[in-house]
């Protein structure tokens, strides 16, 4: 958890400049693009000259509404933004999205923004919902896009970026003492789930698995002349719909706290677009407040890196048997 001083700095004092790196000619995918941060991200990417923008949304009608709202503000040409269906809780939806994306002429940037903070317990992919969406769903769609990013790197002599939107709350996640052979199975038991912790834990697991992914895909000491970047970014605490499942008095408290301390979604979007515009210096790393941040000890246990990658890979292979071939 950021210290109080750090929280005050990032929430109230930090100046967050508009991103300026050009996206000219680039094709960009943003998942969860209709949400609070998503719409602001797309506005920046339009301004920065992207050639093609794909808003991946689980509801086509919410996606169409977002597109309309963005077009009204940016006056971009009507065919620049496309809305494609993607539901991270549905393997058939992910499969058809990935097939479509792999038919694109180029793919320069993927921003994994879609995520949930579930308070209503439910089981998907044989695990608790938050982990299902933020960890399994995110990687289930991300890994099959890697060959397209690499092809784009070679063909266009560019450095494509895959950014996973993380959270500084990873640092206060409570990791179970003994999650057994498979942490995802462990959390099918509702009594083991603390909904306040589950989101933080999902963000910790995201970082561990991203660290491992970066060692498998174009490692920094590798010889690939046209490598890609995978990184993560915390957008700070921003006013969005993320905590929509919180109810009752807690909802009132949460809303009040957000009214006092949350930044506008545009501030978070700026930081995400900045992270998605960086180069190899951020590969495998996590950014916050516009800079690379060292991983805290909780995200620096090599045994957990291996364990979490193994259990995640097993889940992914179960849902998509050839998925790991995308890493070769
Ligand atoms: N807001 C913050 O303070 C904050 C801080 C740190 C990190 N983040 C991260 O930022 C990301 C975006 O959150 P947000 O704050 O913009 O919240 P949000 O307004 O709730 O947006 C979340 C987006 O994810 C989509 N989504 C949820 N489940 C999905 C699924 N199964 N398949 C496809 N899309 C799905 C939502 O679609 P629907 O509209 O259809 O539900 C929505 O577009 C999350 O990963 C969150 O962890 C946010």
Whichever domain contains 137, its CATH number is: 3.40.50.720
> Which residue range is the domain that position 277 belongs to?
23-237+265-319
Identify each DSSP E strand in the chain by its residue range.
Answer: 27-31, 52-57, 81-85, 109-112, 123-124, 127-128, 161-165, 229-234, 286-288, 291-293
Which pLDDT value is given to residue 249? 87
What total number of domains does the chain contain?
1
Domain assignment of residue 79, yes or no: yes
- Report whether residue 59 contacts ligand 1, using a CB cutoff of 6 Å: yes
Domain assignment of residue 311, yes or no: yes
Contact in structure between 320 and 140 (CB atoms under 8 Å): yes
Domain assignment of residue 249, yes or no: no
Domain assignment of residue 7, yes or no: no
CA of 202 to the centre of ligand 1 (A): 13
CA of 37 to the centre of ligand 1 (A): 8
Distance between CA atoms of 327 and 222, rounded to whole angstroms? 14
- Report whether residue 42 contacts ligand 1, using a CB cutoff of 6 Å: no
Which pLDDT value is given to residue 246? 84
Tokens of 290: 């516009």
CA of 174 to the centre of ligand 1 (A): 22
Contact in structure between 258 and 264 (CB atoms under 8 Å): no
- State which residues of the chain have pLDDT below 50: none
Identify each DSSP E strand in 151-278 by its residue range.
Answer: 161-165, 229-234
CA-nearest residue for atom 46, ligand 1, is 115
Which pLDDT value is given to residue 1? 65
Q: How many CA atoms lie within 13 A of 289 on its CB side?
A: 14
DSSP letter for 173, please: -
Domain assignment of residue 62, yes or no: yes
Domain assignment of residue 255, yes or no: no
Which pLDDT value is given to residue 58? 97
> Could you count the other beta carbons within 10 Å of the beta carbon of residue 191?
6
Tokens of 142: 């991300």
- Report whether residue 267 contacts ligand 1, using a CB cutoff of 6 Å: no
Which pLDDT value is given to residue 49? 98
Pocket probe for ligand 1: among 113, 232, 267, the residue whose CB has the most ligand atoms within 8 Å is 113
């Amino acid at each position: 958890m950021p210290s109080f001083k750090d929280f005050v700095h990032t929430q109230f004092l930090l100046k967050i400049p508009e991103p300026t790196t050009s996206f000219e000619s680039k094709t960009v995918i943003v998942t969860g693009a209709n949400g609070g941060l998503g719409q602001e991200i797309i506005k920046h990417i339009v301004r920065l000259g992207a050639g093609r923008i794909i808003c991946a949304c689980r509801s086509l009608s919410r996606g169409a509404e977002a597109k309309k709202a963005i077009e009204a503000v940016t006056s971009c040409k009507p065919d620049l933004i496309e809305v494609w269906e993607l539901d991270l809780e549905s393997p058939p939806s992910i499969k058809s999205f990935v097939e479509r994306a792999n038919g694109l002429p180029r793919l320069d940037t993927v921003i994994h923004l879609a995520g949930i903070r579930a308070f209503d317990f439910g089981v998907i992919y044989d695990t608790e919902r938050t982990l299902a969406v933020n960890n399994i769903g995110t990687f289930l769609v991300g890994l099959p896009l890697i060959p397209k990013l690499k092809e784009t790197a070679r063909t266009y002599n560019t450095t494509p970026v895959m950014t996973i939107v993380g959270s500084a709350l990873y640092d206060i996640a409570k990791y179970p003492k003994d999650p057994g052979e498979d942490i995802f199975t462990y959390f099918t038991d509702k009594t083991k789930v603390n909904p306040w912790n589950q989101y933080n834990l999902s963000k910790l697991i995201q970082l561990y698995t991203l660290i491992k992914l970066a060692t498998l895909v174009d490692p920094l000491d590798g010889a690939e002349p046209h490598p890609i970047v995978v990184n993560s970014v915390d957008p700070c605490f921003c006013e969005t719909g993320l905590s929509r499942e919180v109810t009752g008095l807690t909802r009132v408290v949460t809303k009040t706290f957000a009214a006092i301390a949350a930044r506008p979604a545009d501030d978070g979007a700026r930081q995400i677009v900045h992270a998605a515009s960086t180069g190899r210096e951020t590969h495998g790393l996590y950014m916050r407040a516009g800079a690379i941040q060292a991983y805290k000890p909780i995200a620096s246990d090599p045994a957990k890196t291996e364990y979490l990658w193994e259990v995640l890979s097993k889940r992914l292979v179960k849902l998509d048997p050839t998925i790991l071939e995308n890493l070769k």
